[in-house]
Structure formats: structure tokens, C-alpha cells
Structure 1
Amino acid sequence: MATHKAIATMGIKQPLDIITVSTISPERDEVRVRVEWTASTPLDLHQNDGGLLVKHPQVLGDGTAGTVVEIGPEVKILKIGDKVFGFTWRKQEEKAHQDYCTAPEWLFAVLPERYTLQQAVTLPNNFVTVFHAISTDWGVDLPWPKLEGYVPEEKDKAVLIWGGATSVGQYAIQILKYYGYTNIVTTASKGHHEALKKFGARWTLEYRSSNIVQDILDTTGTDIRYVLDCVGSLEGSMKPVSKVAGKGCTVAILLPVVVRDSSEDNDPLYGMDTQGCCDWEQGVEVKGVRTHFYLEPDIMHTMLKEGIVEPNKQKVIEGKTMLERAQKAMDALRRKEASGERLVWRVSDNLEDK
């Protein structure tokens, strides 16, 4: 059987390494994609440094962008040579941090013209996260396709996006604007405020302000209907959010709860309980957002093609080898070197199909 290289965790906070894995030929509706670009995520750090929900060695990556090189007999849409991007995560052969991934075609969207794979790979995981947080955890309808003249019933209700400059936050603001929400409040450092207002935020607040709770209350009163916490930090976001979320508010928090961040000097500490770790007012509904779900790829393709959403800005991680690039990206995550941009890197060292 043919084999190829993959990036894997070796143990808690250990350096990444290359392992050899089988190259899986597609069956039924599957395609094999030569992985050319990926975007590293906090989940990669959580898995490597904290062992979150993994057993080492673990092949990493869930954001894939590349070229279809082989198709299964039941594939209906994609063809060999198509440039695609997708959210692939369920099994080792689907993971992104390897030369090839094999997954069902419905996990991929075709790359629209005028965009590069490098740009498109900033969408899949966090774009999906936004749709599921809003539709599943908030319980808000996001009809697709959106009919002309559609106006949501709660369009003027205050919506708080904590961490608007994060990848999830940027897509949340753009998608909410597209669906007609007019009273979007977000927190971010001042350098990102102008861009977030262009995306659709009505109010932008400095999250590092010592008076951030009062700033939010002065802006919204106590009438916040929905909150999306894109950070999930116990001290940095959840506790402030718990002080502004009143009765009738629905709060969705990206998991895991980060009790202590990973750093070069400290090991991380995570939790999964969003309810018990804060003093929530009675009548506040709190949900933990689990990001690994499926989304119809036509939505992602169309929203990108029509300019409804913009790709995140990219910080390209350079290196001579796949392993060097992967390790530099992991180190950059740990050091929090990216703000308002995604850490993206070229995956395969061999861009010729075997």
C-alpha cells in the first residue's frame, strides 16, 4: 500500500514529528485531496499541549485546501484537478496536516475564482462553528438560501460577540450582518475596530478596558439577547460576560473552557463545564459550543464567491519542511503571535501527485 507523511503529536507539550501513514484510495463518494494549505487552530494547541480528547500520536488539522487527485465511483460533483477547501476532522485519513487526505466530497467546497487556497483555508472550521453556534446553540434560524426581503424578528436586539477579531468573531459579525442583525456589539483591541465596523459591528469596545463590563452595559443596557464568546477564557471572557448577561439572554461559549492558557512556562488547564464555573444570573441560558459539525459546502462556497464574507487575513508560516512549518505554527499559537489573522502554512513538501 502507498504511504505518505503526516504531522502528529508525540506527547503532552512534546515537539511534533513526522509519521508515515497509509494513503487511502477513495471509495463510494470519497475523494483524495493533495493537501496544499492548512490553518493552525487553538484546538491543535489544546491537543498537543493539553492532550485534549486525543491519544498520542495524533495526526492534527481540520482545515484542508488542495487539489483533488482521485475520486470514488459515486462522486457526483467534484472531479480530478478541482481546487477545493473543506472541514475534515473525523478520522485520521481526513486530517489536514498530511500530504493527502481522503474524505467524502460533501465535506469540500469548490474554490471560487479570484481566491487562492491560502485565503480559502481560513474559512472552513470557524465558518462552520459560527453557523452551528447561531443556529444550534442560540436557536436562531439562518435560512438558506436567504429569500429576498428576509428580516429576522430580533434584528434590533443587542448581540454581543466577545472576541470580534478572532476568526470565529469575524465570520460571526459578517454572517449576522448578512441576515439583517443591526445591533452587533463586539470586543476587540482598538487596532481592529475599524475593520470590524466594516464587517457589520455597530459598537466596538476595547476588551482590555478595566471598565469593560460597565462599557458594555452603557452601550446595551441590560438588553443583550445573545452572546457568542469566541475566546472561552474563564477569567478573560466568561466572567465578564456573566456580569452583563441578564435574564432571557442566551450565551454560547466556545469549548473548552480555558482555565489556564498554555505558555512556554505553564501547562494548560481546561474544563468543559460552562454553567458551574461562573455565577450566572437566573434565567440565562448557557451553552458550550462544539465545533465539529457538518455544513452544506454550497453555503461556504457561495458566501465567499459573492463577497458576503471575506477570508481572514493570513500570517504565513515559512519553513523548509512540513515539520518545520507545523512546529513554527504550534509555537506561534502558544506565544499568541497572531492577532486578527490566521496562521496558515503550506503543507506538503511534494506537490507532485504520486
Structure 2
Amino acid sequence: MLPVSFSTHYITLDNKMTTHTGIATTAKGKVDVIQVPTTHPGAGEVRIKTEYSSTMPYDVYVVDIGFSVQSYPTVLGLCPAGTIVEVGEGVSELKVGDRVTAVAISGPASKGLQEFSVLPATLCARIPDEMSFAAASSIPDNYITAFFTIFDQLKLPFPESFPATTSPPQASVPILVFGGGSLAGQYMIQVLHISGYKNIITTASEKHHAYLRSLGVAHAFDYRSPTLAADITKAVGGDGKVKIAIDPIAAKSTLGVIGEVIDPKGTVAALLPIKEGSSIAISSAADIHFNIPTEWNLLPKDVKFIPVGTALGYLNNAFLRDNAMSKILPDLLQRGLIKPSSVLLMDQGSLKERAEKGLDLLRNNKVSGEKIVVKMT
């Protein structure tokens, strides 16, 4: 097992540094079990004993092409869920013993695929007693992405309450979520719906349509339909053009269809990175883009295009950073206004085998509409 160092606030026993187990990429294309120094939380932070953590396409990019890796080894996982075992100075809303889920975007010590995660209390959400840790770990990354995309990047008005008691100015404007069956798409739909938007249109495999309607979709279309653009145009009515489009898939083909249905002065938000195909398997950093390559861009010239990168932008939005997870999400979960994703649980074999299987399923497009969650203990 390889060692990795994160912090100087180590926990020691008999003058020996204590460590815990984590899953990390140790070189490009390599995943292994490592030993991570166990650290105390600083001011405003908590330490979580992680029971389950989800894995996601971002982890595949980190492993396969070294995406965003500063040095090796790099611990994986963005959504730990477990029990708080220690709180730092100034933390008042959380206490030892609280059951929480968290979004691990505050540095290496926060990552999810390790026994203990240390992260700001504002990035944690208390979960209902009846909610499993596995289900809870399926929520945070796509939840904050939806909040950031809708309220920061698209600048739609933040409702006074959830569900919204007054209709927003664009409540009836057609909003397209391309790829509503994706996990990010499901949260975009849920957040739009509880914010008062009534004319949500989506594309997804037909098997997902009934569930997406239950989340608040007005119209659902099969993304493989040869008449997809015409179907969307008909559903929109009027001039047949969508005013706002959100693309969680962000591929050449999805942006091409959006280009056919978006209003010439509309707005398109696409989740980074942008890829040529919808597959997560890529061979190099050259296969991903942070804006639309000129030769792919079929959007009308006056369309406002917003490439959405969540982590840094979310942390820079003080209101979302301090409220969306710690204050808003617990209430939404308690009232059933935000539903966890369906979980595909990795709980067989060694920890390394469970993590590698989850990454392989993502890499090879073997999962649809489910969150891969790794049992840590």
C-alpha cells in the first residue's frame, strides 16, 4: 500500500501517525489501495467516517488520462456518505453522530473513496434517518451541479421557497434538458420543477420517460428518434423554438440537435467537458474540450453558449456554497422534494475490486440512469 500526505494536522497514537485506507489513482491508468494520513478537521470542518461513496465519469477521466491530477497518488470519489466523528472549531449546525452526505470538492482530504473524509461543514448535508448511506451518496455532485447551472450560470431567479409558491417570470417558457435520463439531467429536471418551471422538455431512452414525467417533465422524447428535432418543435408550439437548453451529455451529436431547435437568441448551457461522442472512454486529454470546437458548432451565431464547470464556480458563489448543501438539501430530502438516484451498488469482492468494477462499468457505458456506489467497509 502506498502512502500519501495531505495535511499537517495529523492524528497520532503513541507518537505514530495514524492512517486509513483509500482508493487512488497511482499512475495514469492505475488504481490501487493506499494508506492516507488521518487528519483532524480544521476550523469550520468536520471529519466523516465514510460508509459509502459514489463514483462518476470524472473519476474515470482522472484515472485514464490524469485529468486535473496535480500529483500521484490522487484519491478518488466526490460524494462520501457516513457519520460525523469529529467537528472542528466553529461548527455549530453539525455534531458528532450526525448522518450526512457531502460533496468532496475542497481538496484531497475531502475525497470520498477513503475511510475518513475531512471537509467544510457547508459542503455536508444531514440526511433523513430512513435514508440509507448508499442512496445519500448518489445525490451531492449532480444536486450542486443543477443548482449552479440553473441559478448561477443561467441566472434564473432563486425561489423564495421550495416548492416555489409564486411562478417565476419564465415559468411557461420551454426549457429543454437534453439527456434527462442521465443523472445530471434528472437533478436539472427536479430543481427546475420545484422552482416553478412548467414547460420542461427532455430527451431520454423510452424506459426512463415515466420516471422523468414523475419528476416534472411536460414532454419526453426518445433521443434516438429520427424525427427528434421535429418532435421537439411540435411540442414547443408557437415558433417551435426552445429558449433555454441544458445539455448534461455535452457531445457533438447532442449539441447538433440542440442547434436545430434552439431559439436564434436563446441560451445553451453544456456540462464540461465537451466530447465528440457520448462515451466516457477517452484516450487522451485531446479528446475533451472546454468549449465547442469551431467545426462542431451548429448553434445559431447569436445563441449564448455557457460551458459549465461546477466545482470552482460553485465554491466561488458564496450563497450556494454556504446554503445549498448544509441548509437547503436537508429540508428538500426530508420533504421528498429531491429524490436520490437509483443505486447500482458495488459491494462484492475487495475494496479495490469494487472500485475498479464501478469504474469499468462507467468507462464501458454499462450503466444508465443509475449511480454507481462503492461500499467502503
Fold similarity call, TM over 0.5: yes
1:186 corresponds in structure 2 to 202
Q: 1:136 to 1:274 in 2, by over 3 A?
A: farther
| Pick aligned residue for 1:246 from 263, 284, 289 | 263
* Partner Cα distance (2:76, 2:241) in 1: 41
1:185-218 residue CA offsets vs partner (Å, 9 max, x unmatched):
0000000111111111010000011222222222
Give aligned-pair identity as a percent.
Answer: 30
2:306 corresponds in structure 1 to 287
Task: Kindly indicate whether residue 109 of structure 2 is the aligned counterpart of residue 87 of structure 1.
Answer: no
Q: 1:148 to 1:329 in 2, by over 3 A?
A: closer
Q: Give the C-alpha shift of residue 179 in structure 1.
A: 1.6
The AA in structure 2 aligned to 1:102 is V
1:224 corresponds in structure 2 to 242
* Partner Cα distance (1:224, 1:275) in 2: 23
1:175 corresponds in structure 2 to 191
Q: 1:40 to 1:148 in 2, by over 3 A?
A: closer
The AA in structure 2 aligned to 1:212 is L
Structure 2: tracts of 5 or more residues without a match: 1-16
2:359 corresponds in structure 1 to 330
2:159 corresponds in structure 1 to 143
Deviating beyond 4 angstroms after TM superposition, the runs of 4 or more aligned structure 1 residues are none
Task: Kindly indicate whether residue 94 of structure 2 is the aligned counterpart of residue 78 of structure 1.
Answer: yes
Q: Give the C-alpha shift of residue 262 in structure 1.
A: 4.4
Structure 1: tracts of 5 or more residues without a match: 350-354
* Partner Cα distance (1:282, 1:139) in 2: 21
Q: Give the C-alpha shift of residue 259 in structure 1.
A: 2.2
Query: How many residues align structurally?
Result: 344
* Partner Cα distance (1:89, 1:281) in 2: 35
- Would you say the 8 A contact 1:169–1:230 is kept in 2? yes
Task: Kindly indicate whether residue 66 of structure 2 is the aligned counterpart of residue 51 of structure 1.
Answer: yes
Task: Kindly indicate whether residue 336 of structure 2 is the aligned counterpart of residue 307 of structure 1.
Answer: yes
Secondary structure at the aligned position of 2:245 is classed as strand
- Would you say the 8 A contact 2:280–2:363 is kept in 1? yes
The AA in structure 2 aligned to 1:244 is V
Q: 1:262 to 1:338 in 2, by over 3 A?
A: closer
Question: Please, what is the CA RMSD of the aligned residues?
Answer: 1.7
Q: Give the C-alpha shift of residue 67 in structure 1.
A: 0.7
- Would you say the 8 A contact 2:177–2:247 is kept in 1? yes
Q: How does 1:247-262 map to 2 (within 5 A)?
A: 247-260=264-277, 261-262=279-280
Secondary structure at the aligned position of 1:225 is classed as strand
* Partner Cα distance (1:183, 1:159) in 2: 6
The AA in structure 1 aligned to 2:118 is T
Q: 1:19 to 1:234 in 2, by over 3 A?
A: same
TM-score, length of structure 1 as denominator length: 0.92
- Would you say the 8 A contact 1:59–1:97 is kept in 2? yes
1:22 corresponds in structure 2 to 37
Q: How does 1:102-121 map to 2 (within 5 A)?
A: 102-121=118-137
